[in-house]
Structure 1
Amino acid sequence: MTEFVLVAGAWLGAWAWDEVAADLRAAGHEVHALTLSGLAEKKAVPAGQQTHVQDIVDEVERRELRDVVLVGHSYSGVPVGQAAERIGDRLRRVVFVDSNVPEDGVSFLDGFPSDHIRASLSEHDGVWPLLPPAAYAGQDLTDEQIARLIDEGTPHPAATLTEPAVLKRPLAELPATYVKCLLDGPEPLPAVTEALRGGRWELVGLNTGHWPMFSTPRELARLLKEAAARP
């Protein structure tokens, strides 16, 4: 049995993992889907990026979890990667799902061309607003799934995007699987490509869009189970 801790990306809460979590539990695993501070039912809680890292570490330590597979999607790969380092021998593996990854001293927005996001933050009083429906086009989502992403999403706190990551050792030293969602572009970010050269990471392709917990939940759950089985 593996302990999965699932953390969704920007705008999303634990609810985003409902289908994936059900599949993992049916296979006998323990699943802890986590809502980060400032989002969903925790939207009133002030949050920066280090708050999110601590949210994840606290979840692992409070529940006394071991043999943990930490899963970070999109934005949350940045705090998940930092938390993976901090939980030490409690970690079995970290899985990055079409995500950004942390680099020491680098913020989420520093990791890719993000002028459009910075402009949006300045226009919306310190939050990253929800995407319009058109932004989800071509991502293998139904109209109902897009509506749910918008209806249940939460504007994302800006400080989590602008605070720098803090790492004590190279991320490539962690045992990791990177799931690249191919409809969102075939190539991972340069920081991921660099980490893959270290020999402890594997790269797996998934033929869907950026939100596979909605578009292909069973296939994503299968990949998570396979990652957990890696030595």
Structure 2
Amino acid sequence: MAEFVLVAGAWLGASAWDDVVAPLRAAGHGAHALTLSGLGDKRGMPAGQQTHVQDIVDEVERRDLRDVVLVGHSYSGIPVGQAAQRIGDRLTTVVFVDAEVPVDGGSFASGWWQGQEAFEAQLTENGGYWPPIGAADLDGQGLADEQVARLIEGSVPHPGATLTEPAVLTRPLGELPATYIKCLLDGPEPNDTVATLLASDNWRLVTMDTGHWPMFSQPTELARILAAQAD
């Protein structure tokens, strides 16, 4: 059985995975949801992007995990992709859940759809943090009112340095064994960087008919897809 290490995207901590952890464990897998520095109950801790990479590597090594499936959602695909290259033969595969992926020398901000300058201006206006989204931003994402409430309740301002520091890759990302889960309500196609990676023999695409936060909207189905990656 696999050991899943689950890392949520911006603003969120380990509790985002509560409804995914339970079915994974019921299927006999290990499931370890991780709160990154500066988020959740670690709010206020200083954090840059490489802090988050080290958080993930430390979790794997501290627990002495083997047969690891690293799972990164949204922003956290960037540190997860880097950590996957650093845990050696402990890794079975990495799963990107509607996620950004690391580009050597690039950052989350450098890939922002309105441009890096516009994104960094948001951070400056909010004291160096990316403010959480509100309920109106979650419309059309397949979330029930209760799920929206839980997502917002679990969100805190996201440390800006984690979004602006550059990624560091030790080898081409396409060499990793990987699955990309595209959530179709958030857009029908992966971005160009992911599309290029999916041309690799090591990468595969899975789609979900839900929005950007499937750990809230379709946790049982997400757990099923994740468990299938360990086969």
TM-score where L is the length of structure 1: 0.97
Change beyond 3 A, Cα 1:112–1:194: farther
Residue of structure 2 equivalent to 1:124: 126
* Counterpart amino acid of residue 13 in structure 1: G
Residue of structure 2 equivalent to 1:11: 11
Alpha-carbon separation, structure 2, partners of 1:195 and 1:111: 16
Secondary structure, aligned partner of 1:218 = helix
CA drift at 1:44:
2.0
Secondary structure, aligned partner of 2:136 = helix
Q: 1:216 aligns with which of 204, 215, 218?
A: 218
Alpha-carbon separation, structure 1, partners of 2:44 and 2:186: 31
CA drift at 1:64:
0.6
Q: Over residues 86-132 of structure 1, what are the superposed CA-to-partner deviations in whole Å (9 max), with x where a residue is unaligned?
A: 00110000000000000100011112414453332121010000112
* Counterpart amino acid of residue 136 in structure 2: A
Q: Over residues 43-102 of structure 1, what are the superposed CA-to-partner deviations in whole Å (9 max), with x where a residue is unaligned?
A: 121000000000000000111101000000000000000000000110000000000000
Secondary structure, aligned partner of 1:96 = strand
CA drift at 1:159:
0.2
Alpha-carbon separation, structure 2, partners of 1:112 and 1:185: 15
Q: 2:137 aligns with which of 135, 138, 153?
A: 135
Q: 2:200 aligns with which of 198, 201, 208?
A: 198
Q: 2:186 aligns with which of 176, 184, 187?
A: 184
Q: Over residues 170-197 of structure 1, what are the superposed CA-to-partner deviations in whole Å (9 max), with x where a residue is unaligned?
A: 0000000000000000111111111111
* Counterpart amino acid of residue 88 in structure 2: G
Residue of structure 1 equivalent to 2:27: 27
Q: Are residue 56 (structure 1) and residue 56 (structure 2) matched?
A: yes
Residue of structure 1 equivalent to 2:159: 157
Structure 1 consecutive aligned stretches of length 4 or more whose deviation exceeds 2 Å: 114-119
Q: Are residue 108 (structure 1) and residue 104 (structure 2) matched?
A: no
Alpha-carbon separation, structure 2, partners of 1:150 and 1:26: 27
* Counterpart amino acid of residue 20 in structure 1: V
Secondary structure, aligned partner of 2:70 = strand
* Counterpart amino acid of residue 21 in structure 1: V
* Counterpart amino acid of residue 171 in structure 1: L
Q: Specify every segment of 5 or more residues in structure 2 that has no aligned partner in the other structure, as ranges.
A: none
- The percent identity for this pair of structures is 68
CA drift at 1:8:
0.3
Q: Does the 8 Å contact 2:78/2:102 carry over to 1?
A: yes
Alpha-carbon separation, structure 1, partners of 2:230 and 2:112: 29
Q: Are residue 167 (structure 1) and residue 169 (structure 2) matched?
A: yes
Q: Mean alpha-carbon deviation: is it higher for 150-159 or for 33-42?
A: 150-159
Secondary structure, aligned partner of 2:57 = helix
Q: Specify every segment of 5 or more residues in structure 1 that has no aligned partner in the other structure, as ranges.
A: none
Tell me the number of residue pairs that the alignment of Structure 1 and Structure 2 aligns. Answer: 229
* Counterpart amino acid of residue 142 in structure 1: A
Residue of structure 2 equivalent to 1:85: 85
CA RMSD of aligned residues (A): 0.9
Q: Mean alpha-carbon deviation: is it higher for 47-56 or for 106-115?
A: 106-115
Alpha-carbon separation, structure 1, partners of 2:102 and 2:9: 14
CA drift at 1:223:
0.5
